[in-house]
Amino acid sequence: MLSKIPLKGVPLSDISHKWAPGEPNNLNDDENCVYLTPNGAIGDINCWIPKPYVCYKKNDENQVLNECGTTDNAYSMDEISGSCYKFHGTPRTYSRAFMTCAAEGGYLSIINSEAEANYIRKLFARNPASSMIGPFYKDVAYLGFNDWSEHGDWLTIHDETLEKAGYAKWSTGEPNNKTNEFCGGVYRSGLLLDLHCDSVHAFICEKSPGSLLWD
Ligand SMILES: [Ca+2]
Ligand SMILES: [Ca+2]
Ligand SMILES: [Ca+2]
């Protein structure tokens, strides 16, 4: 099972590794992440247990920042909004999607105008359902607004109401808070809906070209 976790798409069986004694044991049928021991052996562990972690980045002086201020060429610039966007077709829960965008130097996208909604529609068109792998609903993506049922209003992750942000076009019947749907998303149509935060969905990151990730 572990060998199928597609972090970079390389199966563990292709990577030199040594399991710690008794591992992997998938304790309580709930160990889907890997830890490293001081002697270099690995084991499987529950992903919710906080641990120190190590990041890796190649020291490559030939790496050039693109117009979006990143080496990640999956970000594309919308000349009208002046922002850059990346459509993530690998689905994540809302909190994971939020963290992923932050790690890329961006944030879960916020639609600020009808023109920007247009660009979101274009992003969907470039990412048809057939391009995404896995059993999840492929006609929606998470965006940067939510209502944790705490403040009773939908706010962007930059703390503005949708109206103040500039775009508040809900799809017919939405938000319907069907099953504790506190997180914001968008249909291929560009219209908004509320989604269950623990469900995995595609998501869209937005990034200002000026925010350099590797400063
Ligand atoms: Ca284990
Ligand atoms: Ca925006
Ligand atoms: Ca809904």
Q: What is the pLDDT of residues 113-129, one digit of tens each?
A: 999 999 999 999 999 99
Q: Which ligand is nearest to the CA of 19?
A: 1
Q: Find the Cα–Cα–Cα–Cα dihedral 81, 82, 84, 89, rounded to 10°.
A: 10
Is 138 among the domain residues? Answer: yes
Residue corresponding to tokens 């979006």: 68
Is 68 among the domain residues? Answer: no
**Ligand 2 centroid – CA 142 distance (Å):** 13
Residues 41 and 126 in one domain: no
**Ligand 1 centroid – CA 188 distance (Å):** 40
**Ligand 1 centroid – CA 176 distance (Å):** 40
Between the alpha carbon of residue 172 and those of residues 176, 187, 189, 205, the distances in Å are 10, 11, 11, 25
**Separation of alpha carbons 140 and 201, rounded Å:** 7
Is 120 among the domain residues? Answer: yes
Residues 167 and 100 in one domain: yes
Q: Which ligand is nearest to the CA of 25?
A: 1
Residues 88 and 36 in one domain: no
pLDDT digits (tens, 9 = 90+) for 152-164: 789 999 999 999 9
**Ligand 1 centroid – CA 92 distance (Å):** 23
> How is 97-130 classified by DSSP, letter by letter?
HHHHHHHTT-EE----SHHHHHHHHHHHHHS-GG
Q: How many domains does the chain have?
A: 2
pLDDT exceeds cutoff 70 at 2: no
112 vs 6, which has greater pLDDT?
112
pLDDT digits (tens, 9 = 90+) for 162-205: 999 999 999 999 999 888 899 999 999 999 999 999 999 999 99
Residues 35 and 110 in one domain: no
So what's the pLDDT on residue 8?
62
Is 156 among the domain residues? Answer: yes
Is 212 among the domain residues? Answer: no
Please, which residues have CB less than 5 A from ligand 2, an ion? 110, 112
Is 122 among the domain residues? Answer: yes
What is the CATH number for 160? 3.10.100.10
So what's the pLDDT on residue 3?
37
Q: Nearest Cα to 154, choosing from 101, 195, 200? A: 195
So what's the pLDDT on residue 55?
80
Question: Confidence band (pLDDT; 50, 70, 90) for 34?
Answer: very high
Residues 111 and 152 in one domain: yes
**Ligand 1 centroid – CA 23 distance (Å):** 5
Q: Which ligand is nearest to the CA of 170?
A: 3
pLDDT exceeds cutoff 90 at 56: no
Q: Which domain holds residue 20?
A: 2-45
